[in-house]
Structure 1
Amino acid sequence: MRWAALFDDMELQFSAALQAASEEETASLYRSEQGRLALTARLAGQGDSDVTVRVAGGQDFVGGISHVGSDWLVMRSGARSVLIPLAAVQVVQGLSRAVGAAPTRVHARLGLASALRTLSRDRQSVSVYAGSADARYDGVLDRIGRDFLELALVPTGEERRSSNVLGVLTMPFAAVSAVVTLV
């Protein structure tokens, strides 16, 4: 009888040790997987849920994330669309636990310049924020280089015509905190 109790106790201890080792291995694997997770995957998994993105300079943009590129995201907020370089993101609040699918190779190659070239091609009126709400420039994107943009300053609501251009600004991508368009 004493031997049976001893073997039962040893079996319970062995089973508990196996369970603890299995749980530790699972936790370690989970931490390892989380370590490979990119911000773009977290952002891509949000769907239409509203989040708040604070960018360099302190502006907050609230809306649903509609697109995520390799180094940028687009939010929809009412009648506005906001293109934000990931380098300008300071804080994202309101993310769910969801994770998006890994981007395709083509999608991963679409950088900030590609997104800005689309706006430039469409001659869309934009507001470019450069670090603060006071540093807002309205106009039309004229030229998109490898690491800079040129913005023709045009009065709000006016189309880009030579006679309407008040000046042209050249801005490195690193200075851009957001590009806002009306949808």
Structure 2
Amino acid sequence: MRWDSLFDDLEAQLNEQSQAQLREEIAENIRIERATAELLPTLVRFSGHEIALRVSGGTELRAKLGPCAADYICLETEHSQWVIRCSAIQTLALPPGKVPIAEQHGAGRSVKFSSVLRGLLRDRARCQIFSRDGISLAEGTLAQVAKDFLMILVHPRDEYARSQQVSTQLLIPLEAIGWVEAKHLS
């Protein structure tokens, strides 16, 4: 009887040590995972959800998160679309609750900032260009998106980009751009 009690006690101690070791390993793995987390994979999990963010200059936006890449994110509402460089983002407010499970697709990751702007050019969307500091650089219709700059036709807000309406053609280096807002025509 004493042997049974001794072995039961040793077995319970071993079981408790195993459980403690497992808890420590799980805690360590969580610490490592959190320490090595990066912005893009974290944001991709919230694609399709509404987020709020503050960009340079204090502008606050609330919209549905679209495609994300290493250097920009896309947002969309019923009336506007934004392409925002990550370097212009000051804070992001994610939806409360559990973090959605990561999806395995890499949508948007390899699409360059200039390629997204070319999409706005094709749509002939009315755009407002902001600097990395949040200053409005220009408003009008994109005319060209080159490798390292874009050209925007500046014209009155309620007019189309016809030659008699265009007051200026501005060249803006892509590196100077913090974000672009495109308004949907209604």
TM-score (structure 1 length as normaliser):
0.83
Deviations 1:23-74 (A, max 9, x none): 2222333343445543222222224432111112211110111322342222
TM-score (structure 2 length as normaliser):
0.82
Query: Considering only aligned residues, what root-mean-square deviation do their CA atoms show, in Å?
Result: 2.5
Task: Tell me whether 1:130 sits opposite 2:145 in the alignment.
Answer: no
Identical pairs, percent = 26
Q: Which residue identity does 1:28 align to in structure 2?
A: E
Q: Which residue identity does 2:122 align to in structure 1?
A: R
Extract unaligned runs of 5+ from structure 2. none
Check conservation: 1:70, 1:111, Cα contact below 8 A: no
Aligned residue pairs: how many?
182
Deviations 1:94-119 (A, max 9, x none): 24512542444x74220111100111
Once the two structures are overlaid, the 10-residue window that deviates more, 134-143 or 110-119, is 134-143
Off by >6 Å, runs of 4+ in structure 1: none
Check conservation: 2:67, 2:108, Cα contact below 8 A: no
Check conservation: 2:134, 2:178, Cα contact below 8 A: no
Task: Tell me whether 1:45 sits opposite 2:45 in the alignment.
Answer: yes
- Separation in 1, partners of 2:12, 2:174: 62
Check conservation: 1:59, 1:132, Cα contact below 8 A: no
Residue of structure 2 equivalent to 1:14: 14
SS in 1 for 2:73: strand
Given the superposition, is the C-alpha separation of residues 133 and 109 from structure 1 closer, same or farther in structure 2, using an over 3 Å criterion? closer
- Separation in 1, partners of 2:104, 2:56: 27
SS in 2 for 1:65: strand
